[in-house]
Amino acid sequence: PKAPARPSNINVAWKMLREEAMSCTRCHLYQDATQTVFGEGPLDARLALIGEQPGDQEDIAGRPFVGPAGQLLDRALEEARIDRGSIYVTNAVKHFKHERRGKRRIHQSPDTPEIKACRWWLDRELDLLRPRIVVALGVTAARAMLGKAVTISRTRGTPISMENGMEGWVTVHPSFLLRLPDERRREAERARFVDELRYIGERVK
């Protein structure tokens, strides 16, 4: 199906949406987080990436993918010849879910009700921007993007025609790559991730 055009007041609409998300109480996660971390990037981006949720550094900076996973993502995008400044980057869940251990804040994965509650924002972001391609990084993003639980291994590597008319892709989350203990496997998986991004990047050029 042909995607409907973006609204002409997209800048205002997006700013209002972001502003509204700043005081979101749709689930309890706002209580322990510093702030809502909304998506960022050009509103006419043809490619959008969805992560899981802000991490410790993103929660403080108020921007998606600025910590270690973001650095890995930046390098992968560079190698894939995708300018991060030309794409929209957001998260499935907009507040940092964590547990405190002393001074440290330990990441916790969002659960299904939290992902569902936050999908309200993601759907609105995508409806406004109408990117041609949306890439889900990891299972949480895939669940939010597709509205159902999927496995990475079964969904990876083929485009998915979504109900909203966009083309969806599912791949690994950069944190998965960071956590792989074996260096050779890590490098092989990272190379596969870069190859996927490069392929997807060519499709929006």
Binding interface with ligand URA (CB under 6 A): 51-55, 58, 64-65, 67, 69-70, 91, 175
Q: Which residue's CB is nearer to ligand URA, number 78 or number 202?
A: 78
Q: Which residue's CB is nearer to ligand URA, number 41 or number 55?
A: 55
Q: Which residue is nearest to ligand URA (CB)?
A: 51
* Token digits of residue 72: 């890995």
User: For residue 196, which of 162, 155, 165 has the smallest C-alpha distance?
Assistant: 155
- Report in angstroms how near the CB of residue 172 gets to ligand URA at its nearest: 11
Residues across the chain: 205
- Report in angstroms how near the CB of residue 53 gets to ligand URA at its nearest: 6
Distances in Å between the Cα of 150 and the Cα atoms of 17, 153, 161 are 28, 9, 15
Q: Which residue's CB is nearer to ligand URA, number 62 or number 147?
A: 62
- Report in angstroms how near the CB of residue 106 gets to ligand URA at its nearest: 14
CA angle 39, 173, 62 (to 5 degrees): 30
* Token digits of residue 48: 């959008």
Q: Which residue's CB is nearer to ligand URA, number 131 or number 138?
A: 138
- Report in angstroms how near the CB of residue 117 gets to ligand URA at its nearest: 17
Distances in Å between the Cα of 95 and the Cα atoms of 45, 81, 137, 189 are 23, 30, 17, 28
- Report in angstroms how near the CB of residue 164 gets to ligand URA at its nearest: 21
Q: Would you call 152 exposed, middle or buried from its count of C-beta atoms within 10 A (0-12, 13-18, 19+)?
A: middle
